[in-house]
Amino acid sequence: MSMDAVVYKGAHEVAVEEVDELEIEHPNDVVIDITTTCICGSDLHMYEGRTAAEPGIIFGHENMGTVTEVGDAVSSLEEGDRVVVPFNVACGFCENCENGYTGFCTNVNPGFAGGAYGYVAMGPYKSGQAEKLRIPYADFNSLKLPEGDKHEDAFALLADIFPLSATACATSLSHEPLARFLTASNSKPNRSLTTERPLTRRQTSRT
């Protein structure tokens, strides 16, 4: 069977093409029907030819959808669940993941620390500007959402945009001169930017 996907053809050229439909490859996988996928600024690096991306990559690492297939080892999800998917792929149990460094997982991309959907050098994972997405280590890489279709646009931000922004703010606040500026600039009620420690994208996505 086949599905439609946005396929990179070369610098400044993409096309919607029929590709092989994704399916369960490992018992800890799920497959979702994509309901929302975002275009990230990072995609432009590939689109504009600034990376070593080869033709054939499917774009899109900010994804959400509905579970349609569930691997036998998956315990927290079932068909029909609505999920948002953090952009990076991680196992959840290697030493780096256990210490909170899920962006440097050592189990998802042989010879390299860290993996992501549909990005150059980040592993073999097809991405979500397509009709379906396979989610490996699905119990760890899926954030289950309320039923229905409300707040679709808002929930989509949890895949990358909101966690990235929160991490940038937290990192900025750890730099004392910049922290003083930001705190002063946002000192009105309910606008103070404070954090105890920087948040990883994964930690933010899963809270």
* Contacts by 165-168, CB closer than 8 A, 24 or more apart: 166/199, 166/204, 167/198, 167/199, 167/200, 167/201, 167/204
Q: How far apart are CA 109 and CA 125, in angstroms?
A: 9
What pLDDT is recorded for position 177?
61
- pLDDT tens per residue, range 77-113: 999 999 999 999 999 999 999 998 898 999 999 889 9
pLDDT value of residue 39: 87
> Which residue in 80, 82, 90 sits closest to 28, CA to CA?
90
Structure tokens at 69: 């297939």
What pLDDT, on a 0 to 100 scale, did the predictor assign at position 73? 98
- What is the distance in angstroms between the CA of the first residue and the CA of the last residue of the chain? 36
Residue ranges of the chain whose pLDDT lies below 70: 172-207
Q: Are 26 and 136 in contact (CB under 8 A)?
A: yes
Comparing C-alpha atoms, which of 96, 128, 127 is closest to residue 112?
96
- Residue 198 structure tokens: 């920087």
- Please say whether the beta carbons of 153 and 96 come within 8 A: no
The predicted structure's pLDDT at residue 206: 42
Cα separation, 186 vs 75, whole angstroms: 43
* Structure confidence at residue 41 (pLDDT): 86
Give the separation between CA 118 and CA 87, rounded to whole angstroms.
9
pTM recorded for the entire structure? 0.80
pLDDT in tens, 131-152: 999 999 999 999 999 999 899 9
Residue-level pLDDT at 109: 93
H or E element that contains 88 = strand 88-89
State the Cα–Cα distance between residues 169 and 182, nearest whole angstrom. 9
pLDDT of residue 179: 53
**Predicted pLDDT at 90:** 95
Distance CA 171, CA 201 (A): 12
Q: Which residue has the tokens 């439609």?
A: 4
Q: Which CATH class name applies to 2-159?
A: alpha beta
Which residues 6+ apart lie within 8 Å of 188 measured at CB? none
Determine the 3-state secondary structure of 167 from DSSP: helix
List the domain boundaries for the chain: 2-159, 162-205
